[in-house]
Amino acid sequence: MALFPPSFIDDLRARADIVQVVQDYVPLKKAGNTWKGLCPFHGEKTPSFTVNPDKGFFYCFGCQAGGDVFKFVELQEKLGFPDAVRLLANKFGMAVPESSGGEDGGDAQEREALLKVHEVASRRFAEQLAGPAGTRARQQLSARGMARETIERLGLGYALPSRDALKAWLVKEGFEPRLLLRSGLVVERETGEIVDRFRGRLMIPICRDSGSVVAFGGRAMEADQQPKYLNSPETPVYSKGRTLYGLNLTKADIRRLGYAVLVEGYFDFAQALQAGVVAVVASCGTALTAQQSHLLRRFASRVVLSYDPDAAGQGAAERSSLLLVAEGFQVNVALLPPGDDPDGFIRKQGVGPYVELIRSSRPYLEYLIDRAAEGRDFGQDETRREFLNRMLPIAAQIPDAASRDQFGDRLAHKARITEDVVRAEIRKAAVDRKPALTARELPSFGQIRPAERGLIWGLFQDEGAAEALAALEDADLETLLTRRILEVARGLHREGVVDVPSALLARLNVEEARLVTGIAAMPSGPAPPQECVATLRRLRFERERTELQRQIDRLQSDGGSEAAIAALSRQKMELIRRIAQLSA
């Protein structure tokens, strides 16, 4: 469900002059109908970054970054879409609608209220930590080596042991009990009594990468207090699997350095950050999720994992590493001594030895090969085959073919198998896996049929393109690399959307928008829209003809009925007739 009413987004897009927005970050010079400047997303000396105010998009011919005004702010400020909308609305003097009077508006209003109640609760917890009631909590933090500056920077707090102290305070501040229940800050018992979720705990605010508090982690302060960590439930503003703890504080340094040190827990993060490891982020105590890896990819392409060395930590490290490798990250592993975690290691050994562990971290794939090879006798054929079979699924997940071959060569050397054999086995495993298309594997211009490029170009430059696209059927788009993009554009036209290009860019992810704006920025299209439609339909008929011929051949080989063969032959001849018409 939309966070903002579509009409508001359309109005804001119309008011937010993309040239004005970009010029706040990049000096631009007019060049015909477009504006040019040095790209803010990669280093260059010759301008290859263009802004098209008429069509409302930007595109860089150097790094292929592209999108609309919202995408530009998302990339430049490292924000999610909702926060980019708020930033632009503030800049252009538009009030973000609290409610549109409909379902979408109600959801937006509730989300805003949830963010507000978390902000107020965070301030209250911090006040309680600083006050007389927080003395013991401050002592525990001091015993963990937490400096006052770090406590304030992380916004740490304290929840009173009272049953409903926070509830009473928030109700006094004007928040309704229904909203407090939705926030997860309070819970309703079977008796109907509403009590605080967090009582007598050290409170850790969890923020979006934009800085808004969306949840809390509450750490036990007593030895018999269970669970050790009590976390907020998932809410309309918080999803644990989509949030990286501390990213709001370190994202700029992660982007500047090009890598992130990934730890598990809140205090692992706190100790590392306090010690000067500025590119650190935490996965909130779980193995990394695909959504978290996509979020991290906005800021870095290299990750150093620093998880606990126990079985659970290493299991999480392995799952996280495989996911990161599959997403195209370069992954290293920093091995801690048995019994340590980053929090304890830094407190005992100091920052110097920990930084050295990060510097000397090993490439994960090398570490994995060595760990899998431990104790194996590679003089036995069966051992070599077993080792190779264990490694093949991992190799198949490496998206880059050159890196896959390099990994295969290491496997070959370790297992004493010829490189050609290992490479062939890996390629077969990669094909059998049939992975879903990832952001890194989005097709390039050269992989996309000219007819697809022509339709996309036409959507931005030819008024008749949307009408032509609407004539295509689902079967015409079935095997196209740009199928989702064209389906979205076709749907928008059928819904009666007037400005299809802008609405299309708003519905695409960053990688898709980059591809589309790159095509739209071309000086001319490969062919007129109607010709592109005819080409795509002809390709569909040729696929169907090939399939019919395959069925005919199989029936003839198996002694099938003449009637069935004749029926298929008639269908094939009809397709040949249609292909001839489209080719004329």
Does 294 map to a domain? yes
Residue 99 lies in a domain: no
Domain boundary among 367, 401, 426: 367
User: 433 versus 483: which is more confidently predicted?
Assistant: 483
More confident residue, 118 or 300: 118
**Is residue 3 very low, low, confident or very high in pLDDT (cuts 50, 70, 90)?**
low
Averaged pLDDT score across all residues of the chain: 85
What pLDDT, on a 0 to 100 scale, did the predictor assign at position 297? 77
pLDDT at 441: 43
Q: Is the pLDDT of residue 246 over 70?
A: yes
Please report the pLDDT score of residue 437 as a whole number. Answer: 38
Instruction: Note whether 368 and 362 are within 8 A (CB).
Output: no
Pair (462, 396) in one structural domain: no
Provide the pLDDT for residue 101.
Answer: 43
Between 448 and 356, the more confident residue is 356
pLDDT at 167 over 70: yes
Say whether both 457 and 561 belong to one domain: yes
**What pLDDT does residue 277 have?**
93
Q: Please report, rounded to a whole number, the percentage of residues in the chain having pLDDT higher than 70.
A: 92
CATH of the domain at 341: 3.40.1360.10
Res 44 pLDDT > 50:
yes
Residue 232 confidence class, pLDDT cut points 50, 70, 90: very high
Pair 214, 114 in one domain: yes
For the chain, what percent of residues have pLDDT higher than 90? 32
pLDDT in tens, 170-199: 999 999 999 999 999 999 998 999 999 999
User: Considering only 424-438, 474-488, 517-531, which range has the smallest mean pLDDT?
Assistant: 424-438
Cα gap 313→500, rounded to integer Å: 48
Query: pLDDT band at residue 431, thresholds of 50, 70 and 90?
Result: low
**Beta strands in 334-482, from DSSP E residues, in sequence order:** 362-363
Domain assignment present for residue 531? The answer is yes
Instruction: Provide the pLDDT for residue 344.
Output: 93
Task: Identify the residue with better confidence: 259 or 15.
Answer: 259
Q: Is residue 372 situated within a structural domain? A: no
- Same domain assignment for residues 466 and 526: yes
Asked if 280 and 273 count as a contact pair (C-beta separation under 8 A), the reply is yes
Please check the confidence at residue 434 and state whether its pLDDT lies above 50.
no
What is the pLDDT at residue 107?
Answer: 66
Domain membership of residue 301 (yes or no) is yes
Phi, psi of 363 (to 5 degrees): -55, 135
Confidence at 200, pLDDT banded by 50, 70, 90:
very high
Which is nearest to 96 in space by CA: 79, 112, 113? 112
Q: Which of 105-114, 524-533, 569-578 has the lowest mean pLDDT?
A: 105-114
Element (H, E) at 259: strand 259-263
pLDDT digits (tens, 9 = 90+) for 469-502: 888 888 888 878 888 899 888 888 887 777 788 8
Higher pLDDT, residue 314 or 491: 491
- Domain, as residue range, for 334: 242-367
Write down the pLDDT at residue 312: 66
Residues paired with 207 in a beta bridge: 213
d(CA 298, CA 61) in angstroms, rounded, equals: 19
Question: Residue 17 above 70 pLDDT?
Answer: yes
Instruction: Name the phi and psi angles at 529, rounded to 5.
Output: -55, -45
pLDDT at 315 over 80: no
Q: Inter-axis angle of helices 450-461 and 483-494, to 10 degrees? A: 40
Rounded average pLDDT over 51-56 = 84
Task: Please report how many Cα atoms fall inside a 13 Å half-sphere around the Cα of residue 94, on the Cβ side.
Answer: 19
In this predicted structure, what is the pLDDT of residue 548? 85
Do residues 16 and 122 share a domain? no
Is residue 481 one of the residues assigned to a domain? yes
Is it the case that residue 435 has pLDDT exceeding 60?
Answer: no
Same domain, residue pair 135 and 230: yes
User: pLDDT tens for residues 365-413?
Assistant: 888 888 888 888 888 888 888 888 888 888 887 877 777 888 888 888 8
486 and 386, same structural domain?
Answer: no
The mean per-residue pLDDT over the stretch 442-455 comes to 73
> What is the CATH classification number for the domain harbouring 80?
3.90.580.10
In this prediction, residue 287 carries a pLDDT of 67
User: Could you tell me if 111 and 193 lie in one domain?
Assistant: yes
**Helices first, then strands: H and E counts in the chain:** 27, 16
Question: Would 98 be classed as within a structural domain?
Answer: no
Calpha distance 407→395 (Å, rounded): 7
Residues 121 and 223 in one domain: yes
First to last CA, the chain: 46
476 in the same domain as 447: yes
pLDDT digits (tens, 9 = 90+) for 261-287: 999 899 999 999 999 999 999 987 666
Q: Confidence band (pLDDT; 50, 70, 90) for 430? A: low
d(CA 316, CA 126): 32
How many domains are there within the chain?
A: 5
Residue located via tokens 């965070």: 122
Distance CA 14, CA 9 (A): 9
Q: Residue 424 domain-assigned?
A: yes
pLDDT at 511 over 90: no
- Give the domain CATH number at 134: 3.90.980.10
Q: Are residues 146 and 259 in the same domain?
A: no
Higher pLDDT, residue 539 or 2: 539
Confidence of residue 464 (pLDDT cuts 50, 70, 90): confident
Rounded average pLDDT over 549-572: 84
pLDDT, average across residues 567-574: 88
- End of a domain among 212, 238, 264? 238
* Residue 552 and residue 465 share a domain: yes
C-alpha distances out from residue 568 to 238, 314, 554, 556, 581, Å: 55, 57, 12, 11, 20
pLDDT in tens, 98-150: 544 444 445 667 888 999 999 999 999 999 999 999 999 999 999 999 999 99
- Of 203, 238, 273, the last residue of a domain is 238
